[in-house]
Amino acid sequence: MSRTTIICIGCPKGCRMKVESERGEIKKISGFSCPVGKEHARKEFENPTRILPTTVRVKGGELPLVPVKTAAPIPKKLLLPAMREIARIEVEAPVYTGQVIRKNFLETGVDLVATRDVKRETSDRARITA
Amino acid sequence: MVMRFNYDLVVIGGGPAGLAAALEAENSGIENILLLERDKYLGGILQQCIHNGFGLEYFKEELTGPEYAGRFIERLKGSKIKVKTGTMVIKISKNKEVLALNREEGLLTIRAKAIVLAMGCRERTREAILIPGDRPAGIFTAGTAQRYVNIEGYMPGREVVILGSGDIGLIMARRMTLEGADVKAVLEIMSYSSGLVRNKVQCLDDFDIPLKLRHTITSINGKKRVESVIVSQVDDRLRPIPGTEEEIKCDTVLLSVGLIPENELTREIGIDLDGVTGGPVVNEVRETQVEGVFTCGNVLQVHDLVDFVTEEGEIAGRAVSKYLKGEREWRDQPVRLEPGKNVRYIVPHRIDYRDKDRKRIKLFMRVKEPGKDVKIKLRDGTGKVLLAYKREIVTPGEMVTVFLPEALIDENMSRIKISIEKEGR
């Protein structure tokens, strides 16, 4: 029997929940105070996932980067490998919100999409300055 | 040559508060609206908050900062609202004349019938909290680092210590880690994190970044660049405890030590500020003591959810319309909302109008201390409890909201005191 502690993110209470398991199978969940917590504990134990928001380099854009995200949560353990993959990507401006940057990113079935419009650079003045 | 303009409404600031106020004012029938933004782009701080978690309340879906801003910027394109970006307001007079400047038009004087102040806030710096030590390169506010990383494409450093566990500090701990930096620790002087639970779990725990509560930086060391920080534990009165010093090697220090509403323009108009919020004193429609000058968003009170900023912008936007159309009915006397036990502040500060159409007024407040199983009690001038709300948990990091039903506001009432008390029998 092994025990894992999971802190609920459903509300400010932040319940510390315990998942008791045997060979990866949940035997008991305790410490939650509502159904949201119990479900969160189950998901976090079985397959923790996260949306990954980051940036991708843009060529010829009014901004050097465009913010992107995975359109749905991906397995938590893929976050760092995904970052290494994204570091290699460069897209050509213009880029539009919702535009698919990589389809079926890392075979997750989830697309990597842009979250902002970046127009083509028209002049030096258009480029953002610090 | 000074260019002159006339508008019914001038909104200062194109972040979420200003965008919501301008759009809602137009929605309520105001036509001649000008929105001024000093940055090159609309959206304010949302544009650098590329993480998700925005919009759960307002749109009932989870968006990133740029997506949230984008929704309003899209709506703006379909409106008649005039926008000037790259435009800095330098003075506002009591008679609602706005002095601004930009590269294309030079100096502008804009006469407004109503003004919405939506300038947002800025970060407290090292100077504001007086950290001793050297003055090397490598010390940034977390928000500045966020702009470098997310918009401009620079990495501020490789080995990072973050002071302050507010949401921006937590978000930047994850962001720097994802971009390959080693975040050594997040330090929090209080005994609790002031950020959202979600951020503590997903930004620190996910990456095994230690959160050291009751700790602060007592010295920054380094000649040209930060080389290390000295970290000390603090006592109950937040004083460093001698003998607890620990050196952490790092090349970068990020500060997430609070936000200050940016009210220089407000102060120059002669509007009183609340010493606790740092924002103007307002009535229930977010109107300052100068009639026709409204305010909303982080310039009024530092919010933790942008959804509430939007809501507040919309309150101000609708109020502008009522003001310009002369559809307001003053109460004989205002109802003052007074913070009682464990309430740090309440916005709005007072209720000035009668409004038979509204059913309830939403009150925003922050607590001083975390509490469990508490009752939020609203009492009238005689001490009679008008209403009580139960809350399982309250923390300083999350704004508390309650509703005051219109039906409870008596014509002779002059004050309501709100206190948060431990639930007794």
Whether A41 and A17 have beta carbons less than 8 Å apart is answered as: yes
Fold agreement (B1-122+259-327, B125-257): yes
Residues in chain B: 425
A101: domain range? 53-126
Nearest CA in chain A to B394: A12
Please tell me the predicted confidence (pLDDT) of residue B198: 87
Q: β-pairing, B415-422 with B329-339? A: parallel
Contact at CB, A53 and B197, closer than 8 angstroms: no
User: In the sheet that B246-249 helps form, which strands lie side by side, from edge to edge?
Assistant: B215-221, B228-233, B246-249
- Say how far apart CA A56 and CA A38 lie, in whole Å: 36
Chain B residue numbers touching A97 (CB-CB < 8 A): 66-67, 70
**Is A3 an interface residue toward B (CB < 8 Å)?**
no
Name the token pair of A92.
């050509």
Nearest CA in chain A to B48: A67
B383 DSSP assignment = S
- Same-domain status, A36 and A100: no
- Say how far apart CA B377 and CA B365 lie, in whole Å: 13
Domain boundaries, chain B: 1-122+259-327, 125-257, 330-425
Specify the amino acid at residue B387: L
Whether B135 and B253 have beta carbons less than 8 Å apart is answered as: no
Look at residue A68 and tell me whether its pLDDT is greater than 50.
Answer: yes
- Say how far apart CA B258 and CA B256 lie, in whole Å: 6
CA A55 to mean position of chain CA atoms: 12
Q: Give the distance from residue B267's alpha carbon to the nearest chain A alpha carbon, in angstroms.
A: 27
Question: Rounded to whole angstroms, what are the CA distances from B246 to A67, B114, B249?
Answer: 37, 55, 10
Quote the pTM value. Answer: 0.94
Contact at CB, A80 and B66, closer than 8 angstroms: no
- Say how far apart CA B129 and CA B152 lie, in whole Å: 27
Whether B184 and B208 have beta carbons less than 8 Å apart is answered as: no
Q: Which helix (H) or strand (E) holds B163?
A: strand B159-163
- Same-domain status, A99 and A40: no
- Same-domain status, A41 and A58: no
Identify which of B302, B234, B248 has the alpha carbon closest to the alpha carbon of residue B274.
B302
What's the mean pLDDT in A2-15?
87
Nearest CA in chain A to B103: A125
β-sheet bridge partners, residue B295: B117
The residue ranges of DSSP E strands in B368-409, in sequence order, are 371-380, 385-394, 400-405
Specify the number of domains making up chain A.
2
Please tell me the predicted confidence (pLDDT) of residue B196: 84
Please tell me the predicted confidence (pLDDT) of residue B78: 93
Contact at CB, A7 and B397, closer than 8 angstroms: no
Whether B156 and B140 have beta carbons less than 8 Å apart is answered as: yes
CATH no. for residue A8? 2.20.25
- Same-domain status, A62 and A118: yes
- Same-domain status, A34 and A57: no
- Same-domain status, A60 and A119: yes
Mutation pick from A115, A118, A125 vs chain B, by most beta carbons of B within 10 Å, is A115
> Tens-of-pLDDT digits for all 425 residues of chain B?
788 999 999 999 999 999 999 999 999 999 999 999 999 999 999 999 999 999 999 999 999 999 999 999 999 999 999 999 999 999 999 999 999 999 999 999 999 999 999 999 999 998 888 899 999 999 999 999 999 999 999 999 999 999 999 899 999 999 999 999 999 999 999 998 888 888 999 999 999 999 999 999 999 999 999 999 999 999 999 999 999 999 999 999 999 999 999 999 999 999 999 999 999 999 999 999 999 999 999 999 999 899 999 999 999 999 999 999 999 999 999 999 999 999 999 999 999 999 888 999 999 999 999 999 999 999 999 999 999 999 988 988 889 999 999 999 988 999 999 999 987 64
Chain B residue numbers touching A52 (CB-CB < 8 A): 178
The residue ranges of DSSP E strands in B165-322, in sequence order, are 182-188, 211-213, 215-221, 228-233, 246-249, 252-255, 259-261, 293-295
Please tell me the predicted confidence (pLDDT) of residue A129: 47
- Say how far apart CA B235 and CA B213 lie, in whole Å: 11
Residues of chain B contacting A, Cβ within 8 Å: 40-41, 47, 50-52, 62-67, 70, 148-153, 178-180, 196-198, 200-202, 205-206, 392-395, 397-398
pLDDT band at A124 (very low <50, low <70, confident <90, very high): low
Mutation pick from A69, A91, A118, A127 vs chain B, by most beta carbons of B within 10 Å, is A69
What's the mean pLDDT in A102-112?
97
- Same-domain status, A74 and A119: yes
Contact at CB, B397 and A67, closer than 8 angstroms: no
The CATH architecture to which B1-122+259-327 belongs is 3-Layer(bba) Sandwich (3.50)
* Nearest CB neighbour to A65, from listed B51, B52, B150: B150
pLDDT band at A12 (very low <50, low <70, confident <90, very high): confident
Tell me, which fold does domain B330-425 have in CATH? Answer: Immunoglobulin-like (2.60.40)
Segment 51-90 of chain A within 8 Å of chain B by CB = 51-55, 57, 63-65, 67, 69, 76, 79-80, 83
- Count how many pairs of residues, chain A against chain B, have C-beta atoms within 8 Å: 85
* Nearest CB neighbour to A67, from listed B50, B196, B393: B50
- Same-domain status, A58 and A121: yes
Bin B83: left if φ > 0, else alpha if -120 < ψ < 50, else beta. beta
User: Right CATH number for B125-257 from 3.20.20.80, 3.40.50.300, 2.40.110.10, 3.50.50.60?
Assistant: 3.50.50.60
Whether B270 and B18 have beta carbons less than 8 Å apart is answered as: no
